[in-house]
């Protein structure tokens, strides 16, 4: 972070002032003030992000990288400006390493269809963990089936921590890719990503990190992590839906074939031969979601201005408060109790199914996620079909946690 | 016309629903099932299993119905199971159609739906995302009948 960011962060974190920036949080739901605790599914958007979308369509809508006219130039400048902001946000070395995608899922599929399809063969291994989102399981299963390769799964312990010894033993010259989550969406576990990368590299295997649940909560630094690919979604980072990021090391991206063919990803086309465009455009076929990319840039500005010093301190305090509150309710059990966690409180109740918990909380204006969180294997690991999950963002308050506790009391009343 | 249940949570988790949830009927598995099927809800992993045995006249003689999941799935499974004995498979299907229709569009004015305790699930219509919970056991039952007809 720059010195300028630090001086901004030095001001006291006023959560109520921050909440004023999020218009959606001001509403009532079912007669109660909205308590939004479903940030792991998607985050809310500050006014500056909403304004960026409106401004784009109001004043500069046109296509990028094409026209010589003024609007096209403005749109291109802002689109590329957003790329530069994101490069800085994750401390990547070069703007060419930032590929705009639709979301995390598309980023993973892109790597599966290009890098992995080229490098994985019969009898090779791809390693994932037991706590992956389906989007970091299914593309690899499909590829392994196609190639006759093996999908290996690193187990986790009862708290939700990755068993690093088992991981190390799994690595071999046959390991062609490690694809692991940075923060578990179902449990909140923060994985030792840098160590995971270091061990894989010692065996010559590249690493993709799924950062969908990490980037909203902590600074991520491509130089420190040294991962080969990093993917995340804009909409969980207080930006719009429809835009995501794939970071890849330039030398890998250069050597990879394109993912989709079309406009913008080529230099020249004849029926005899097509020459592909340079990075990052080689991987951005077709007109992108320009407005969302620009708005994601605005989201990154917003988060950077708040500063992760403040964000993580506030969220850690909330997580501590929430963990304490939920563990003191008889009949409630937290799932995911790793010592190093991001703001996710996944829980089950002895007497009520997560769907019933979700409906009763909703009646009180409290939004949480219920279900398997697109992570069925980790549910099976804990021998439960589903959990109720409260997931935090920096705009949440202790009052939100108190409302959750009161809501759970109501569940206990109905299902006593 | 049957009384419309009120829409508060006490309605959703009313006495009849909670009774079927806490004391589900017909849970004992059958050894001699003619009709059998299990259905999953892919969004939450919940499931419902139905088994039916038929007598010589093709009428439902034995019923086993089990489910895992929320109160609504479990209550719906139990309520549905209790309406089946003595019915032909055609009558079971007619009942299923009435039930699905009632969950989607409400009760008919004449009120002769033959829905028994399933009427208590009308309140679920106020919670559209939960309707699929209420219908999951029916899907299992219908799949079982379809498979039985195709093999016999």
Digit-coded pLDDT (tens) for B44-91: 778 999 999 999 999 999 999 999 989 999 999 999 999 999 999 999
DSSP string, A273-335: -EEEPPTTGGG--S---HHHHHHHHHHHHHHHHH-HHHHHHHHHHHHHHHHHHHHTSTTEEES
Query: If you average pLDDT over every residue of chain B, what do you get?
Result: 89
One domain, residues A160 and A125:
yes
One domain, residues A214 and A335:
no
Taking CA atoms, what residue in B is nearest to A355?
A: B70
One domain, residues A311 and A299:
no
Dihedral over alpha carbons A38, A41, A47, A52 (to 10 degrees): 180
- Find the CATH number of the domain harbouring A247: 3.40.640.10
One domain, residues A103 and A209:
yes
One domain, residues A241 and A112:
yes
Q: Give me the residue label for tokens 């500050």.
A: A46
Domain count, chain B: 1
Top residue of A41, A138, A356 to mutate, by most chain B CBs within 10 Å, is A356
The closest of B152, B142, B150 to B50, measured between CA atoms, is: B142
- Find the CATH number of the domain harbouring A12: 3.90.1150.10
- Find the CATH number of the domain harbouring B88: 3.90.1010.10
Which of the residues in chain A have pLDDT under 50? 1-10
pLDDT per residue as tens digits for the range A111-163: 999 999 999 999 999 999 999 999 999 999 999 999 999 999 999 999 999 99
Domain count, chain A: 2
For chain B, helix (H) and strand (E) counts, in that order, are: 5, 3
pLDDT at res. A136:
98
B74 Rama sector, left if φ>0, alpha if ψ -120 to 50, beta otherwise: alpha
Residue B91 lies in a domain: yes
Q: DSSP secondary-structure letter at A270?
A: -
Judged against a pLDDT cut of 90, whether residue B4 lies above it is answered with: no
Top residue of B6, B8, B9 to mutate, by most chain A CBs within 10 Å, is B9
ipTM for the predicted complex: 0.83
CA A19 – CA A292 distance, rounded (Å): 22
pLDDT at res. A5:
44
Task: Please give the residue range of the domain that contains residue B51.
Answer: 9-146
Task: Please give the residue range of the domain that contains residue A57.
Answer: 51-304
Residue A42 lies in a domain: no
Residue A39 lies in a domain: no
Residue A211 lies in a domain: yes
With a pLDDT cut of 70, the percent of chain A lying above it is 97
One domain, residues A289 and A398:
no
pLDDT at res. B12:
85
Residue A380 lies in a domain: yes
**Known catalytic membership, residue A374:** yes
Cα separations in angstroms, B70 against A398, A412, B132, B137: 29, 14, 11, 12
Q: Give me the residue label for tokens 């109905």.
A: A414
CA A147 – CA A177 distance, rounded (Å): 14
Residue A57 lies in a domain: yes
One domain, residues A300 and A326:
no
One domain, residues A75 and A174:
yes
Question: Which residues in chain A touch residue B9, judged by CB atoms under 8 angstroms apart?
Answer: 359-360, 363, 414
Q: Do B45 and A354 touch (CB under 8 A)?
A: no
Judged against a pLDDT cut of 80, whether residue B152 lies above it is answered with: no
pLDDT at res. B3:
43
Chain B touched by A371 (CB under 8 Å): yes
Judged against a pLDDT cut of 70, whether residue B121 lies above it is answered with: yes
CA B152 – CA B135 distance, rounded (Å): 26
Residue B3 lies in a domain: no
Dihedral over alpha carbons A234, A395, A159, A359 (to 10 degrees): -90
Using the 3D structure, point to which of A249, A272, A304 is the last residue of a domain: A304
pLDDT at res. B9:
56
CA A284 – CA A248 distance, rounded (Å): 14
CA angle A225, A48, A10 (to 5 degrees): 60
Q: Do B44 and A386 touch (CB under 8 A)?
A: yes
Residue A45 lies in a domain: no
CA B33 – CA B40 distance, rounded (Å): 20
Q: Do B72 and A379 touch (CB under 8 A)?
A: no
């Amino acid at each position: 972070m720059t010195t300028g960011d630090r001086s901004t962060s030095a001001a006291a974190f006023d959560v109520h002032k921050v909440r004023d920036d999020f218009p959606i949080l001001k509403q009532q739901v079912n007669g109660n003030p909205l308590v939004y605790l479903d940030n792991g599914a998607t985050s809310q958007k500050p006014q500056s992000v909403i304004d960026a979308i409106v401004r784009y369509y109001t004043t500069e809508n046109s296509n990028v990288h094409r026209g010589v006219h003024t609007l096209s130039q403005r749109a291109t400048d802002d689109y590329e400006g957003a790329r530069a902001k994101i490069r800085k946000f994750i401390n990547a070395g070069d703007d060419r390493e930032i590929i705009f995608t639709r979301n995390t899922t598309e980023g993973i599929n892109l790597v599966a269809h290009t890098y992995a399809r080229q490098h994985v063969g019969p009898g090779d291994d791809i390693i994932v963990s037991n706590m992956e989102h389906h989007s970091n399981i299914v593309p690899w299963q499909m590829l392994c089936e196609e190639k006759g390769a093996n999908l290996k799964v690193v187990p986790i312990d009862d708290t939700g921590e990755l068993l690093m010894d088992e991981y190390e033993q799994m690595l071999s010259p046959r390991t062609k890719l490690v694809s692991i989550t940075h923060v578990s969406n179902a449990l909140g576990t923060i994985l030792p990503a840098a160590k995971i990368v270091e061990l894989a590299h010692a065996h010559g295997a590249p690493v993709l990190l799924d950062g969908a649940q990490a980037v909203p909560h902590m600074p991520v630094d491509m130089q420190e992590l040294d991962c080969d690919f990093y993917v995340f979604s804009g909409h969980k980072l207080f930006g719009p839906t429809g835009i995501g990021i794939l970071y890849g090391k330039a030398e890998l991206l250069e050597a990879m074939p394109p993912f989709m063919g079309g406009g913008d990803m080529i230099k020249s086309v004849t029926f005899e031969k097509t020459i592909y465009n340079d990075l990052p455009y080689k991987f951005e076929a077709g007109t992108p979601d320009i407005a969302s990319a620009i708005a994601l840039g605005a989201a990154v500005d917003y988060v950077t201005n708040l500063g992760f010093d403040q964000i993580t301190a506030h969220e850690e305090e909330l997580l501590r408060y929430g963990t304490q509150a939920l563990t003191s309710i008889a009949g409630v059990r937290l799932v995911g109790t790793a010592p190093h966690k991001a703001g996710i409180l996944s829980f089950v109740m002895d007497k009520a199914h997560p769907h019933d918990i979700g409906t009763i909380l909703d009646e009180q204006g409290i939004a949480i996620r219920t279900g398997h969180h697109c992570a069925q294997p980790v549910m099976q690991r804990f021998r439960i079909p589903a959990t109720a999950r409260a997931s935090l963002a920096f705009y949440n308050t202790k009052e939100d946690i108190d409302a959750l506790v009161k809501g759970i009391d109501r569940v206990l009343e109905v299902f006593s | 016309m049957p009384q419309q249940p009120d829409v508060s949570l006490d309605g959703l988790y009313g006495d009849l629903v909670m009774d079927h949830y806490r004391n589900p009927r017909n849970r004992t598995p059958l050894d001699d099932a003619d009709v059998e099927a299990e259905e999953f809800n892919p969004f939450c992993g919940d499931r419902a299993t139905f088994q039916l045995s038929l007598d010589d006249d093709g009428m439902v003689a034995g019923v086993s119905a089990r489910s895992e999941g929320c109160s609504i799935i479990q209550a719906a499974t139990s309520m549905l199971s209790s309406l089946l004995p003595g019915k032909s498979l055609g009558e079971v299907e007619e009942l299923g159609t009435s039930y699905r229709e009632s969950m989607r569009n409400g009760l008919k004015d004449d009120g002769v739906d033959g829905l028994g305790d399933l009427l208590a699930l009308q309140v679920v219509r106020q919670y559209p995302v939960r309707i699929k919970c209420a219908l999951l056991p029916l899907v299992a039952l219908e799949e079982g009948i379809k498979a039985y007809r195709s093999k016999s």
